Amino acid sequence: MAGDQPLVLVVEDESAQREVLAYNLEAEGFRVARAADGEEAMLLVAEDRPDVIVLDWMMPRLSGIEVCRRLKLRPETRTIPVIMLSARTEEVDRVRGLETGADDYVVKPYSVVELMARVKAQLRRVRPASAGVRLEFGDIVLDAETHRVSRAGRELKLGPTEFRLLAALMERPGRVWSRESLLDRVWGRDVYVDTRTVDVHIGRLRKALTRHGGADPVRTVRGAGYALG
């Protein structure tokens, strides 16, 4: 709570996944605290007062559900937003059913772009100053919170994948993303999808962006990937 940058607590027992998460959060400019299980998490919460908690559901010792429940009991920790990670859709339903009070849910394998957007969205609730939920490029505006995209004031209809793809591209306009890193960021880490699929979705995104006129803002860099502008 004290520092410049928001502090995100990552609670995940599997070290590889924990580090991937931490890596991406740090790349976004957050400070990161790590916990490998629920008990460690409770200690760190008391100690460091994180601004957001990303919490794995399935963990040894103290499960994510239990951690969440305990946090929401105490007034001084009740307001810290919790984003729950779980492996399957059914589990999300179950977690919801348990009324743990988590503020958001993300299903594994998650898209990095999406998770970052949700972390930012939660932060914005608590710290209205933190920016980044609203991305702009030229006359294109993307609002991660409301999941809406408009161009020149006109609302655009995008599918979920096209939305995340555009969000990834808008995150750093001009930067060239390889098909592989787009797959990584937009589709998710453990999904094995043909790289040509990226081309198809880029095509769909282009069609949506230019439906009502306007130049194609997506640049193809032959042999390298795609970029915005």
Does 181 help bind DNA (rule: CB under 7 A)? no
Q: How far apart are CA 84 and CA 100, in angstroms?
A: 10
Pairing of strands 104-107, 82-86: parallel
Phi-psi label, residue 79: left if phi above 0, alpha if psi -120 to 50, beta otherwise? alpha
Of the candidates 163, 85, 82, 95, the one whose C-alpha atom is nearest the C-alpha of residue 125 is 82
Which contiguous run of DSSP H or E holds residue 202?
A: helix 196-210
**129 contributes a contact to a copy of itself by CB under 8 A:** yes
Rounded CA gap, 41 and 12, in Å? 9
Q: Which of 101, 109, 138, 203 binds DNA (CB under 7 A)?
A: 203
CB of 210 to a copy of itself, least distance (A): 22
The stretch near a copy of itself (CB under 8 A) out of 4-12, 47-55, 180-188, 207-215 is 180-188
Choices 1-9, 15-23, 43-51, 134-142 (CB under 8 A): range interacting with a copy of itself = 15-23
Q: Does 88 bind DNA (CB under 7 A)?
A: no
Q: Which residues bind a copy of itself (CB under 8 A)?
A: 14-16, 19-20, 23, 96, 99, 101-105, 111, 113-114, 117, 120-121, 124-125, 129, 145-148, 159-160, 174-176, 178, 180-181, 184, 189, 192, 221-224, 227
